[in-house]
Structure 1
Amino acid sequence: ASNVVESGIFSPINADLIDSPDRAVLAQLRQSDSTTAHDALQKRLQNVSANLEFSIDCFAENVHALSTSRSTAESLAERNLKEAAEVLESRENSRRAAGAVNGVPQPSAMDALRGLARALNGRR
């Protein structure tokens, strides 16, 4: 890459045309000795590659744990909703049975209010 710049195909980077943070990076790159930069880069890549497998394993384990927790929560929620629906249905059946006189179901409070509203509206 340095041969390309030296041969004149590309012009050198004009630091005045780039943002301040990029200027600082450019200055750092220009100041560093190429062997030092190469050694630092090599060390950094070795550290990343040494920790990469462990990081990926941790990530995969956490994704699996999250998936397991989600499926457990879903099954618990479904079971709780089913039990709640059964309890509500049982209560409703008990109320209906208690409201029946001689096997004839009695009107609910809402039915009574509707009938009263019709009667009052009919008088007008």
Structure 2
Amino acid sequence: MTWNTNIQEAPRGKTVQITRKKRVETKEAVDTTFRTTYEHQKEDVILATKCGKVIKTYWIPGEERWAGLANGEQPDAWMAWPKHPNFIPAGETGMVLGTERERPLSIGLHTDGDPESRFDSASLHQHSIIDDCGSGA
């Protein structure tokens, strides 16, 4: 990851269409309605400010500014917020851990709906390290 000084290239999220289904039951009938709205889906970035701070932030479209910065304040540089190395967006294909196979994923799961089916459990146990993260146990 490298710093980019062209702030205009920084990702500012996107507007997505959301359709919600609502089911209303009465004694007479069951009615299903759909409501479509548009929502801003933020995208996290790392900004380097003029005062020497490095912060995780996102664009606020209604205010035309970065969260954590004042109106009109421009950062010196930006960097994309990293994605987890095992993150596979829904609908894409991905390598199955511990194998050389690639298969399609649906909503982040294998097509049979079992989230664990996309991992080879023998490989996971062989390479997993369980660490007590300070629980005091």
TM-score bucket of the superposed structures, by smaller chain: under 0.3
Structure index of larger Rg: 1
**TM-score w.r.t. structure 1 length?**
0.20
Greater strand proportion: 2
Higher relative CO (Cα under 8 Å, sequence separation at least 6) belongs to 2
Greater helix proportion: 1
